[in-house]
Amino acid sequence: RPRIHQSKLTLLRGFASVELKKYDPPSWVPDHLVKPKCRIKLAHLPTPVHQWDVASASLKTDIWIKRDDYTGSELSGNKVRKLEFLLADALQQGCDSVITVGGIQSNHCRATASAARRCGLEPHVILRTSDTEKDPGLVGNLMVERLVGANIHLV
């Protein structure tokens, strides 16, 4: 179980230290939805918004792109935004592991394994593959999952 320092809500798990921050959802969130109570900081936010000049010129309109690829190295993309809430909930409940499922080169599985390890949680990734007997090696997302010490289960 994590030790919780009540004044800062800091969870200490081995070498990992993550701060649970109280979260107040925006007023426009409907009351019927379950609202998260806390989050952890994993992403580098806010990310910039850039005008896409190439498409804008040919279409004679302005096109703007939200650059979620700037959220952080192994956690890039929009996946890290939901992981800030999901992993905060797991830590708050006293979980010690996280399990996720995806394809053999799943970006979501890579991000979840990296974020879980950063939070001191044991990552388990269940990966779909056409050949469960053959080791898929150290390629792409699978290499990152192995580097962070994820428990890999091929199905």
Q: Which residues are catalytic?
A: 106
Report how far residue 144's alpha carbon sits from residue 125's, in angstroms, rounded to the nearest whole number: 12
Residue 101 CA to its chain's centroid (Å): 13
Residue pair 114/107 in contact (Cβ under 8 Å)? The answer is no
What number of other Cβ atoms are within 10 A of residue 66's Cβ?
12
Distance CA 31, CA 122 (A): 33
The residues facing 12 across adjacent strands are 3, 17
> In 81-94, which positions are buried (b, 16+ CB within 10 angstroms) versus exposed (e)?
bebbbbbbbbbbee
